[in-house]
Amino acid sequence: GNAQLIVTGDFNAAVNSPPYQALLQDNDQLVDTYRVAHPQPAEDEGTFGGFRGQANGARIDWILTSPSLKVLSADIDRRNFDGRDPSDHFPITAVLSRGNP
């Protein structure tokens, strides 16, 4: 019906992987917020940094949402603290709206 979904998780799966494709291929119920905000793939989309701050790998983390939610922005947070990464993955963020902002 009118349910609005937000799907997050530690997927460890690239956007061309079977899990990603299973959720999005031939499905008009979910969209990838990062791809909505950044339609063209780029080399620096990697989200696995391995505590080394690298961004050139695959984007293995994603936020999916119902297309009825408006994606205002989506980004990869690459901040570190005193030169130390908080995780081996870079967090994905998305700002969403239910209606007109």
pTM equals: 0.88
Which pLDDT does position 18 carry in this prediction?
95
Can you tell me the distance from the alpha carbon of 93 to that of 72, in angstroms, rounded to the nearest whole number?
A: 11
Indicate the DSSP class of residue 81: B
Instruction: Report the percentage of the chain scoring pLDDT > 70.
Output: 96
Residue-wise pLDDT for 22-65, tens only, equals: 999 888 899 999 999 999 998 889 998 888 877 777 899 999 99
Paired residues of 89 in beta bridges? 48
- Banded pLDDT at 1 (limits 50, 70, 90): low
Can you tell me the distance from the alpha carbon of 98 to that of 21, in angstroms, rounded to the nearest whole number?
A: 26
Q: Tokens at residue 48, please?
A: 């696995």
